[in-house]
Amino acid sequence: MTEEEARERILSAAEELYYRKGYAAVGMDELRAAAGVSLRRLYALFPAKNDIVAAVLARKHTEWENGLSAAVADAGGDPRARLLTVYAYLEDWFCTDGFRGCAFINAFGELGGTNPEVAEAVRTHKASFQEYMAGLVAGIGAPPLLAAQLSLLAEGAQSTAAISADPQVAVQARSAAEVLIDAAVAGS
């Protein structure tokens, strides 16, 4: 097994275990066993658990951005439809097997108070989402404040869907987003 294959196996196993069980609950030996690598190899690639957590969060960030961008691109050229696609993307995600909320919110809840690197990775991810929403909001000619409002709806939907196990939260968030968008565009 190459170094890259071992790294991929470790990160895939870590992503699945952390998301399902929590970051703090998963030890290095459990991760080693799930990845099918030796403890020596695991520590050679990732000297500390924090290194694995950081790599998993970087991977989740890229996955989120690529998935959301692709969904919005598939929505076509109508700027309003592109903006509302964010909530359709959330609904699809909420309907997946094993949905347990936002990995970043989960990481922050578990580790953000004691691990500055995790807190920064989460803040960077959330700021990136707000910037993305700001670009979509600019596309409809609405005031920048709308991006923050719509981001809060999306973030709240993620937390609520994880707690309630109800993917319809995304539909409710989309309905609220439509009201906010209509009000913002009318007021522009």
Residue 134 Cα distances to 61, 124, 125, angstroms:
18, 15, 14
Structural domains in the chain, CATH included, are 1-47 (1.10.10.60), 56-187 (1.10.357.10)
Report the predicted TM-score, pTM, of the whole model to 2 decimal places.
0.92
pLDDT given for residue 188 in this prediction: 67
The secondary structure of 57-100 as a DSSP string is: HHHHHHHHHHHHHHHHHHT-S-HHHHHHHHHHHHHHHHTSTT--
- Asked whether 107 and 59 are in contact (CB, 8 A), the reply is no
pLDDT given for residue 149 in this prediction: 97
pLDDT tens, position by position, 100-150: 999 999 999 999 889 999 999 999 999 999 999 999 999 999 999 999 999
The C-alpha atoms of residue 126 and residue 128 are separated, in whole angstroms, by 5
pLDDT given for residue 1 in this prediction: 86
Report CA torsion sign: 140, 143, 144, 150. negative
Ranges of the chain with pLDDT below 70: 188
